[in-house]
Amino acid sequence: MNILETICANKRLEVEHQQQATPLAVLQRQIDEQKHAKISFNASLQQSDTGIIAEFKRQSPSKGLIHPDADAIEIVSGYEAADAAAISVLTDEKFFGGSFDDFQAARRVISKIPLLRKDFIVDEYQIYQSKAMGADVILLIAACLTQEEVARFAILAHELDLEVLLEIHNADELAYIRSTIDVVGINNRDLKTFTTGIRHTIELANQLPDGFVKISESGLSNPQTVLQLRQAGFQGFLMGETFMKTDNPPETLRQFIAKLSEL
C-alpha cells in the first residue's frame, strides 16, 4: 500500500468517527447559519499577478515536521497581506499536522482572497463539512476517487456554492475532467514515491481540454520554475513547504514574489 492509499484508508475511518460525533443534520444547520459569501478561486487565479496559492501546513509524510508550532492566524493573514492569490489550509491531522481549528482560525481573518480546504475527500459528508467551515473551494484528488465519485462530489459542491479543484497526476486521470470542475491541478509529485519534477507536469498540461484554469502543485521553490510554468500556461502555483520551512513564511512569500517580478 502506497502512502496515498494509507492516507485515504485512514481518512475513511476518520470520517466514520466524525459522522458519529457531528451528524449531517448538525452540519446542515451550521451551513444554514453560515454568513461567509464565497470568493471565487477560479476568478482570483485569473485576476492575480502572482497566481501563488500559499499553503499553511505543519508537516508532511515526505518531509516530516516543517513548522509544528506555526500560528495559523499570524501566517495566513501575512500571506494575504503579501499578495497571495489564495490560501490553502491543511485539515488532515494524522499525516499533515492540520486541524479544523487551523482552518476556522484562517476563516476568521481572511476576507479578500479564497480559502481552500486541503484534505483527502472520500465522502460527501466532508463536502458539507467544508461548507460549514466556510471554505470557498475544495480539493478532489483523482487518485483517491472513482470518476463517478468525482462527478457526484463536484455536483454536490456546486449545489453548496463551493468551487472544485481537481488534482490529477497522470494521463489516465484526464478522463476525470468534466464541466463541473472549476480548476485543474497537476501534482508535480509522484503520489507513490513522493518525488517531484515539472517536466511530466508540462507534458500533461498540453493534454488538458481547452478552457480550464490550471495550477501546478508541490515541490515549487524557484521563481524561475514558476516563470517556466507560467509560460506553459499555468495560472496558479500551490506552494507550502518553501514558505513554511522558514521562520517568517509571509516574508518569504513576499521575497519570492519580488524575485518573480524581476524575471
What is the set of active-site residues? 55, 57, 118, 167, 187, 217-218
Amino acid at 20: Q
Q: Is the dihedral of CA 151, 157, 159, 161 positive or negative?
A: negative
State how far the Cα of 126 lies from the Cα of 132, in Å rounded to an integer. Answer: 10
Tracing cell 479544523 back to the chain, one arrives at 100
- H helices present in the chain, as ranges: 3-21, 24-32, 41-47, 72-81, 100-109, 124-133, 147-159, 199-205, 223-231, 241-244, 249-262
Tracing cell 479578500 back to the chain, one arrives at 112
State how far the Cα of 22 lies from the Cα of 198, in Å rounded to an integer. Answer: 41
Task: Give the largest CA-CA distance in the chain.
Answer: 52
State how far the Cα of 44 lies from the Cα of 29, in Å rounded to an integer. Answer: 29
